[in-house]
Structure 1
Amino acid sequence: MGQKISPAEPEQHPGVATAEQGVVLLDGPDGVAIAMTPEAAEETGRRLMAAAQEAASQTSAEAHPS
């Protein structure tokens, strides 16, 4: 307890999303895969877009401090 875990290097390549038999499949790096309902995939997509926008603004703010 109390150990700090060093963060992994962030993935630079996007996952691949496909639809099969009414299920959304997302394949990521290193064999990571997840199956979601269409509703879960839509909400995940919204959350990913919001987080990506926030992360992009954080990196641009760090590059150009006021």
Structure 2
Amino acid sequence: MAKHAALTPEEEGGIATAELGLVLLDGPNGVAVAMTPEAAEATGRSLLAAAEAAASQRERGETGY
């Protein structure tokens, strides 16, 4: 992502719940996603890995906002 991009990151996390065999993710600004348990697990792993990488980048002063 270009450093000049107008980007305002969300500071509030979403809320995940389980209902009728699906994982529902309610995010900020009305974002809502329904996933299978398998998709939710993959998304969770991907989010954690990306969060760790982004935190390291921020520690080094590499931010895009």
TM superposition shift of 1:8: 3.1
| Alpha-carbon distance between aligned partners in 2 of 1:51 and 1:7, rounded to the nearest angstrom | 20
Instruction: State, as a whole percentage, how many aligned pairs show the same letter.
Output: 62
CA deviations on 1:14-51 (whole Å, 9 max, x unpaired) are 10000000000000011100000000000000000000
- RMSD between aligned residues: 1.7
Number of residue equivalences: 59
Match of 1:18 in 2: 17
TM-score by length of 1: 0.82
Moved over 3 A (4+): none
Gaps of 5+ in 2: none
Return the index of the structure with the highest Cα Rg: 1
TM-score by length of 2: 0.83
